[in-house]
Homo-oligomer: A and B are copies of this chain.
Amino acid sequence: MYQSVIFLAWALSVSALDNGLMLTPPMGWLAWERYRCDIDCENDPKNCISEKLFMDMADRLSEDGWKELGYVYVNIDDCWSSMQRDKDGRLQADPKRFPGGIKKLANYLHERDLKLGIYGDMGTHTCGGYPGTTLDKIELDAQTFADWEVDMFKFDGCYSNSTEQEKGYPLMSKALNATGRPIGYSCSWPAYQGGLPPKVNYTQLGEICNLWRNYGDIEDSWDSVIAIVDWFFENQEVLIPAAGPGRWNDPDMLIIGDFGLSLEQSRSQMALWAIMAAPLFMSNDLRTLSSSARAILQNKMIISINQDPLGIQGQRIVKEKSGIQIFWRPLSKNTSALLFFSRRSDMPYRYKTSLSKLNYTTGSYKVTDVYTYETTVLKDSSEFVVSVNPSGVVMWYVSAPAKLNSRLYFRGGHVQDFANEDNNNDIPYLL
């Protein structure tokens, strides 16, 4: 069953945008969810949309162990520009908030081995009311971004209709390529067209964009995360084949480290985004991030799952009435990720299953809990119990069939020797 999904994904993965970029999901930082259109630098100088904010975040990505993990993009969103184009019709940064201009900011990032992303909007205005990019301005704006040495461009879609979008999004792709500068291209187009065929053509999107927003904006709440997750997995048959190296579905930013998620929920967002092969753009305050949020965002095993070179988006394989849902993502080297997620709101739930029930083939598997680093060897037929916290996850990295070593079973963290593995009362208890 999974093999067929893999082959289907490969069969459809022939045509990604030909700029050679983002062969794994892009990672970095994006201003919008946390900082919105805060332009009040007089009263809120630390948080307003200004070159200072992006330089601050660049310093943190560079000095606090982020860029080594892959978080290299620092992305501007809406409200960066002046309300007027310049005398030559080009976009220009707000002179008060970006006194050095965008090119200087790009240099600041490049000196630190980071990349700069910028934002525009297909239409008469951006969503925040700043100058938009109408069809006649597409080439000029693409060239402006290339001149500024920008590395990524998010093209939003407020104030344009579907006919204009149908022309504009491909045109911008061509225009960016024509500049000769490799610029990662993020398209909001499908989100404006409901995210589903026939209005959305994912084959075409894979040919013109590196990533695309399929669904509404994330907000700083668990309800928002859940709405996104539900939509993505309810439509997984459409979305999984669309994704692959160089072309990614984008469920929007990570809000870990902000105000609305509990520790469990933060772990859940990170794990679910890894299963989805989603771009990992944090939108938070890296200057004041808690150590627990940092530990989640810097979890190497989850990042390596997210960044798996096969780039196959994972799927939901079980949806229990109890509220337990199970997700699976095939990874390179015959490994996989397995995620147990609880939608309950009462207490930790003890879920009993076996790898063979989850369609793993006969054999023994090495299983590593990505949050605790506990390792176990499980036979496909062995029943086990995972205890999943309310709104929390248990995520496993499952590696290729290995020889069974019965001394490696765990029960509540203690190594035990299971003399009689057929004894049903002695099922290994994981986490």
Contacts and interface: CB of A to CB of B under 8 A. Distances in A.
Contacts of A139: none
B345 A260 contact: yes
A219 B345 contact: yes
Contact of A347 (B36, B43, B223, B261): B36
Contacts of A222: 221-222, 260
Contacts of A350: 40, 43-44
A35 B347 contact: yes
A369 interface: no
Contacts of A219: 345-346
Contacts of A35: 347
User: Chain A binding site: helix, strand, loop or mixed by DSSP?
Assistant: loop
Interface residues of A, number: 34
A346 B221 CA distance: 9
Interface in A364-393: 385, 389-392
B345 A390 contact: no
A335 interface: no
Contact of A391 (B36, B221, B390, B391): B221
B259 A389 contact: yes
A144 to B, nearest CB: 29
A137 to B, nearest CB: 29
A224 interface: yes
A390 B262 contact: no
A247 interface: no
Nearest to A266: B262
A156 interface: no
A264 interface: yes
Interface string A314-352: 000000000000000000000000000000011110100
Interface in A207-254: 219-224
A390 B347 contact: no
A154 interface: no
A260 B262 contact: yes
B36 A259 contact: no
Given A222-B222, A259-B264, A390-B260, A34 B345 contact: no
A149 interface: no
A391 B260 CA distance: 7
Interface in A388-431: 389-392, 429
8 contacts: A38-B347, A40-B350, A43-B429, A44-B350, A47-B348, A258-B390, A259-B264, A260-B390
The 5 closest A-B pairs by CB, nearest first: A219-B345, A221-B345, A259-B390, A259-B264, A259-B389
